[in-house]
Amino acid sequence: MKIIDGTAIAKGMLDELKLEIEKAGLSPKLAVIIVGDDPASKTYLKSKEAACSHVGITYEKYMLPSSTSQAELLNLIKELNESDVNAILLQMPLPKGMDEETALEAIDPEKDADGFHPANIGRLLLGDEAIAPATPSGIIELLTRSSIEVSGKHAVIVGRSNVVGKPLAVMLLNRDATVTICHSRTSNLARITREADILAVAVGKPHFITSDMVKEGAVVIDVGINKVGGSTVGDVDFEKVKEKASAITPVPGGVGPMTVASLMRNVFLLTLAQRG
Ligand code: NAP
């Protein structure tokens, strides 16, 4: 069994990216908007900020209070669309009452660091992955850099969110996997997960996938980030499942760092495309 070291793979990606940015003579600038004070968002932002500084991306932070109105947020996005920043990231979740969809759609698709704009999601669906959401991109990169074949494999994804499950399904399909997506209304989930050659889990429930739900030799990708007591655990019962899997990602140190590295690559790609 192989534990896929997302931290090391992400570090390799960031090192490569730093060189690519230097070689291209670019000075990308990323604007990050945070509305409210969600504590988890602050933790994610720290790692994004550190990655920016590592690869040579200028990081501009816009901290807005939770009392900010939708119109004020849209105004800021408009200003940034017209400014010299190359990429914009709107940190989720937004405070209750704010319309995330409208805000994400307001971002210029050519500055869409997260790849969540409907135009970029539409392109992904048509097979153009130029700017793809960071977490699924990170997962694909993990599989590729770990020499895990996807073509012809049965990939089962548990979770159908717009940020992870759905775009990951499309990206695996683009690589000729046979894809099954499961969700909270799926009947007999374990029967389906046991058929997976590649099992990706993005549910948000600690230790949700137990070893009886996994086929011997499966590759298991755990996207979940759950706080239990003082520690962070995934959606997979790692200790038991690792005895069955041929490869598995740990939490922390699996998909998380890859998401950040893929986000940095998106900023680079957007900047490069703007230069023409
Ligand atoms: P989400 O929007 O809450 O979606 C959760 C998905 O799980 C939904 O599709 C839901 O089904 C499904 N689900 C819930 N209970 C289920 C059950 N009993 N059986 C089968 N499916 C079930 O979550 P998300 O944004 O995709 O995030 C999922 C997890 O990944 C969270 O822990 C999050 O923190 C983590 N995450 C990590 C990264 C990273 O970089 N590592 C990035 C993003 C998210 P329905 O659609 O039917 O409700």
Domain match, 81 and 186 both: no
Count: domains in the chain: 2
**274: number of Cβ within 10 Å:** 14
Q: Please report the atom of ligand 1 found closest to the CA of residue 44.
A: 40
Q: What is the DSSP letter of 211?
A: G
Domain match, 84 and 154 both: no
Q: Which residues have C-beta within 8 Å of that of residue 71, sequence separation ≥ 6?
A: none
Is residue 43 predicted with pLDDT exceeding 90? no
What CATH number does residue 40 fall under? 3.40.50.10860
b/e sequence 208-223, b meaning 16+ C-beta within 10 Å: bbeeebbbeebbbbbb
Is residue 40 predicted with pLDDT exceeding 90? no
Per the domain annotation, does 191 fall within a domain? Answer: yes
Confidence band of 37 (pLDDT split at 50, 70, 90): confident
State the number of CA atoms in the 13 A half-sphere of 219 facing the CB: 18
Q: Is 70 one of the catalytic residues?
A: no
Q: What pLDDT is recorded for position 211?
A: 98
Domain that holds residue 42: 25-108
Confidence band of 42 (pLDDT split at 50, 70, 90): confident
Enumerate the β-bridge partners of residue 40. Answer: none
Distance between Cα 23 and ligand 1 center (Å): 38
Q: What is the pLDDT of residues 80-135, one digit of tens each?
A: 999 999 999 999 999 999 999 999 999 999 999 999 999 999 999 999 999 999 99
Of 36-45, 158-167, 218-227, 249-258, which range is least confident? 36-45
The helix or strand, by DSSP H or E, that contains position 121, with its residue range, turns out to be helix 118-125
Q: Is 114 one of the catalytic residues?
A: yes
**Could you tell me if 80 and 51 are in contact, meaning their C-beta atoms sit under 8 angstroms apart?**
no
The answer to whether the predicted template modeling score (pTM) of the entire model surpasses 0.95 is: yes
Mean of the per-residue pLDDT values for the chain?
A: 97
Q: Is 235 one of the catalytic residues?
A: no
Per the domain annotation, does 211 fall within a domain? Answer: yes
